[in-house]
Amino acid sequence: MSLDREQLLGVAYAERQRLGRMIQYAEPETWELASAADGWWNRDVLAHLAASDTAAAQLMAGEPAIELEEFRSAHDGAFDVDAFNAWTVSRRSGAEIRELIETWGKAAESCVAYAALLTDERWATARFPWLAGDIAARYLVQSRIVEWFLHGEDMRATNGLGPQYQHWPVHLTIDLGVRMLPWALSQAGYELEGRSLLVEVQGAGQGSWHWGLGSGEVPPGARKPDATLRGRAPQLALVAGRRLSADDVTASGAVVLGGDRELAGVVLQQLRAYP
């Protein structure tokens, strides 16, 4: 199902508050522990969120995203997401944890608030210059929810607060991954026009998607999908977030391939909820 604007902003507000509570209850010494995000300490994850949510808030406010523009200018307009993330984290390496927390909290709150202030026309038609290209307001908001969920889990993995799967963050992570499939498959060199995928998952984040694998394609309602992915929603969301591998979840039985199993395997390997 597709959430309307009010529902999506409500989920964003709730997820920002949930991550804020996790940050509040984390023991101070755990910020200097390695997170589940490869190569980053928990403080690095927080620095990354402070940078990305500041950029998102600036765009929602109708202002330039200063660090995004600075990075693009320094690289002649070329953009590499991993390089940008590493750059923003590195330049905050000397910041106090308290400063990172305050910066992230204000930026995340502002992002949601400015999104709520957009006119209906701008919400529907505006495009914002984000990481991999221009993005609609609803998907910029959804991307923030996905990052707050995934990076919250990265920090929870080592700060003693443990995993916490809730329906909407998990569901929206899978949803964004499914919506990005035509782009992700094309980027990997696959041309799958005319083929479609059915995703059916249960548990926290449960849902069903029948999606065309070619750009802009919408399969007819009565059409049988070429491939299927069925299983547990949290595990599929973590595949989309690149926290679990496709091999891990198929070996464990958390996700089962069906229909054209070779095609389903290719799709699962390329599923991703961010550029």
> Does this model's pTM top 0.85?
yes
Contacts of 90 (CB under 8 A, 6+ apart): none
Distance CA 74, CA 71 (A): 5
- pLDDT tens across 192-230, in order? 999 999 999 999 999 999 999 999 999 887 789 999 999
Give the tens place of pLDDT for each residue, 31-66: 999 999 999 999 999 999 999 999 999 999 999 999
The token pair that represents 265 in the structure block: 């395997």
- Give tens-digit pLDDT for 110-140: 999 999 999 999 999 999 999 989 999 999 9
- CA nearest to 205, candidates 257, 149, 253, 132: 149
Please identify which residue in the block is written with the tokens 């307001």. 137
